Structure 1
Amino acid sequence: MTDYINRPLYIEKIKPFIGKSLIKVLTGQRRVGKSYLLMQLKELIETQEPGTQIIYINKEQNEFSFIRNSDDLLKYIMKNVKGKEKVALFIDEIQDIESFEVTLRDLVTRKNYDIYCTGSNANLLSGELATFLGGRYIEIKVFGLSYAEFLVFNEIPDSVESFKDYMKFGGLPYLINLSNEIQVAYEYLTSIYNTILLKDVVARFNIRNVKFLENLVEFLADNISSIVSSKKISEYLKSQKINISTQVVIDYLGYLESSFLIFKVKRTGIEGKKIFEIGEKYFFEDVGIRNAIVGYKAADIHKILENIVYLHLRMAGYSVTVGVEGRKEVDFIAQKAGDKIYVQVAYMLTNEETVNREFGNLLEIPDNFPKYVVSMDEISETSTYKGIIRMHIKDFCFRLVTNPDLNLQKQSINW
């Protein structure tokens, strides 16, 4: 019997597809909680459909190391199926099984298989693989803890101090089992970072220049929220006496994205009519890992806040770009199902120049979609200025991903 904490943000997304002839694929960075979500789904099916046979495979456990390819996978499943009408199949870290898609496509066409799997590779369902599966899958992107989940996991109140802890430590769930000493937390986060780099980048893509890769990650960690380009990165590295071509930088950035360590955010015209091919922002999947790499410094707080807001917009299901019009920039244009919001992120609105910049860019946008300025200023309640909504960042993040009909609560699970 192991305690886990329910994450309804994801479970509710998956529920409509339970029992359907679709492969449910949970993708995300290592240690964001995909395995626990898989176990929650396993328990849910055991409770609601007691006649269903459960087959569970975890490729991170040695007992399943013999399953190396699609043939091994199919043999194991066929050997263990007990003739029941319904089979629920759970596979954790499926990318470690070569040609897994061959077996999954076979099983999903048999109609009596309800299939769930997780993967730590953004390219898991891209290109030819997606075509091969022929639309028979649904992908659910899993992130680290939202600020609201962070409060529940740590059993702490919603407060500015709690949000500051979230800024320092990030949202990897296992941190609740460690002391809140920053050195202990960052040692754990560094170990996760090293695992991601070595297993999901170096080994997967046969990287030889590991030192350059590490330098690239440090550069990105230092420059979250800044507009950068592969050319700019290449020029910076040359100034550090590291001679790397622009194409190699582009390739390595793609490898890091595929591991979910970072996200690339493109720039678009504020009215959405133009996409800029050169220059984008990069954010980390987990600000705790980012802080463990380059340190948590007061001078970086605005960058970290922008990273957190970006993550919460993505958690809420928005597609996100950076808005640009001439010399003016809107931090985020977020769109979902025909809706759109604009968000400016500031640390503190301490002077008139900052106020004019953050509000002025939004005031010039000629549409009626909601516009927000979010900051760490002490704000007792949400207010508006010329139609622009002003909120504390913690409140914005909290409300963005919570739903009053959902219940964040601790439950138990049978392993």
Structure 2
Amino acid sequence: MSYVIRPRYLETIHKFVDTPVIKVLTGMRRVGKSTILTIIKDEVLSSIPDENKIYLNFESLDLFYINTASALLEYLKPILARIKGKMYFFFDEIQLVDKWEQVVNGLHSDKDCDIYITGSNSTLISGDLATLLAGRYVEFEIQPLTFSEFADFFKHTNLSIDELFSKFIIQGGLPFLKYFNLEESPAFKYLTDVYNTVLVKDVMQYNNLRDVDIFNRISDYVIENIGHTFSANSIKNYFKSENRTVSVDTILNYLEYCSRAFIIKKVPRYDTAGKRLLKIDEKYYLSDHGFRQARGFSNTKDIERVFENIVYIELLSRGYEVTVGKVRDREIDFIAQKENRLCYYQVAYTLGDEKTREREFGVYKLIHDNFPKYVLSADRMDFSQDGIIHKHITDFLLETV
């Protein structure tokens, strides 16, 4: 099988191999969870005999009849009796089995085994896992392809890095795009279908929503305004200007539903002076910025905000916790923290004029610590100054970290 090895996830998951916790791969639909599960089975655990590895894909027609916990248990009984030594279970799309958690918890409690599962967001979202698996799991959220992974996917095209990045800006990073060979028309059709599937199955059906029009308008507002600081009240006022009445609670609930389905990301603001998270005026980004173009919003027209989206998802994929920084009346695009490491990032399209350079570099004069501070842009000229590092955005995205 041909696939891109995604070392950041595999290295992190590898640390939990043979530990007594259930490994759960979550994330938006179609980001490659099933592929990573297969790579864990075939590559990470290559030293384990095949007969000790039980892989079940519940979307397969061969397992179509296994749709209840009792049917799954009956299927597993002869396997459990036959296998000698430690067993490794790989359950793909396990949400298709009703009350699957009863079997998984039972295996975890009674057998010498290591368990890995994936599933759709309609049942395997973070809020449910704590109840279903009662503290017996560790969660790995899988993001769409980063630009370095995207470039690896399409290296056979012999396009330059700049040409590939232009394609990435427009089409985003869902792995299935490899089948369309960077052609925009089928790519956008696919992105639209995935987006609609997530909205319908993982948001509307799961949360039993009825007002389709209001929901679509709220989601489109967020998609259009990625990277802007706004509140539920600002969305309410937007609807009021269109003679529509929507409550703040409804808006907040709908945004939370989209966040729980991993389609959008809410980024809190952090007051660097007060050392506290702020509860108002968060920013939102998309898990995959290609959805924005597919929904009819130009990524090239709003390229600075799309740059921000790309950098934000990149930082998440590197394992950072990310906030937006507030420094007095100024803002830092991202504060990224992992363990005892902390970095600051400003993102711009171009630094061609002095006013823009003052805005992007000047905010760091208000930060009095020695953590690394970066400005990322599309400029090839190096504008680094006063210990603040300027990088071309693709150089940053292609770093091996």
TM-score by length of 1: 0.90
Provide the rounded CA distance (Å) in 1 between the counterparts of 2:358 and 2:341.
Answer: 26
Q: 1:31-50 counterparts in 2 under 5 A?
A: 31-44=30-43, 47-50=46-49
Partner of 2:27: 28
Find the residue that maps to 1:298 and give its secondary structure: coil
1:303–1:384 Cα change, 3 Å: same
Aligned length: 398
Partners of 2:397 and 2:375 in 1: CA distance: 12
Q: Is 1:122–1:258's contact at 8 Å kept on the other side of the alignment?
A: no
Once the two structures are TM-superposed, the CA of residue 14 in structure 1 deviates from its matched residue by 1.5
Between 112-121 and 184-193, the greater mean CA deviation after superposition: 112-121
Compare 22-31 and 57-66 and name the one that shifted more.
57-66
* CA deviation after TM superposition for structure 1 residue 59, in Å: 3.0
* 2:312 corresponds to 1:310: yes
Question: Amino acid of the residue matched to residue 140 of structure 1?
Answer: F
Distance in structure 2 (CA, Å) of the matches to 1:239 and 1:56 = 54
What is the aligned counterpart of 1:363 among 358, 365, 368?
365
Find the counterpart in structure 2 of residue 142 from structure 1: 142
Q: What one-letter code is carried by the residue in structure 1 that aligns with 2:190?
A: Y
TM-aligned CA deviation for residue 319 of structure 1: 0.4
SS at match of 2:46: helix
How far 1:123 moved relative to its partner? Answer: 7.6
Cα distance in structure 1, aligned partners of 2:195 and 2:66: 26
> In 2, Cα distance between the equivalents of 1:144 and 1:129?
22
Sort the Cα spacing of 1:180 and 1:259 in 2 relative to 1 into closer, same or farther, 3 A: same
Answer yes or no: is the 8 Å Cα contact 1:51–1:86 preserved in 2: no
Q: SS at 1:17's partner residue?
A: coil
Aligned with residue 333 of structure 2, among 331, 346, 358: 331
Shift of 1:82: 4.5
**Match status 1:130 vs 2:130:** yes
How many percent identity over aligned positions?
40
TM-score by length of 2: 0.93
Q: Which runs of structure 2 are paired with 1:191-210 in the superposition (5 Å)?
A: 191-210=193-212
Which residues of structure 2 form unaligned runs of 5+? none
Structure-1 residue corresponding to 2:171 = 169
Q: Distance in 2 between matches of 1:9 and 1:129?
A: 23
Task: Tell me how far 1:19 sits from its aligned partner.
Answer: 2.8
Which amino acid in the other structure matches residue 257 of structure 1? S
Q: Distance between the aligned counterparts of 1:96 and 1:237, measured in 2?
A: 38
RMSD: 2.1
**Which aligned pairs between 1:82-101 and structure 2 lie closer than 5 A?**
82-84=81-83, 85-101=85-101
Distance in 2 separating the partners of 1:129 and 1:6: 27
**Structure 1 match to 2:394:** 394
SS of alignment partner, residue 18 of structure 2: coil
8 Å contact kept, 2:150–2:173: yes
Opposite residue 25 of structure 1, the aligned amino acid is: V
Tell me: higher relative CO, structure 1 or 2? Use CA pairs within 8 A at least 6 residues apart.
1
How many Å apart are 1:279 and its aligned residue?
1.0
Distance in 1 of aligned mates of 2:33 and 2:21: 18
Q: 1:24, CA displacement in angstroms?
A: 0.9
User: 2:122–2:203: 8 Å Cα contact kept in structure 1?
Assistant: no
- For the Cα contact (< 8 Å) 1:28–1:122, is it kept in 2? no
After TM superposition, the structure 1 stretch with the greater mean CA deviation from structure 2, 10-19 or 384-393, is 10-19
| Bigger mean CA offset, 234-243 vs 205-214 | 234-243
2:340 counterpart letter in structure 1: G
Q: Deviations over 1:162-209 (max 9, x none)?
A: 211111111111111113222221111101111111111111111111
Amino acid at match of 1:329: E
Question: Structure 1: where are the runs of 5+ without partners?
Answer: 404-415
Amino acid paired to 2:114: D
Q: Which moved more, 1:133-142 or 1:334-343?
A: 133-142
Q: Which amino acid aligns with 1:154?
A: F
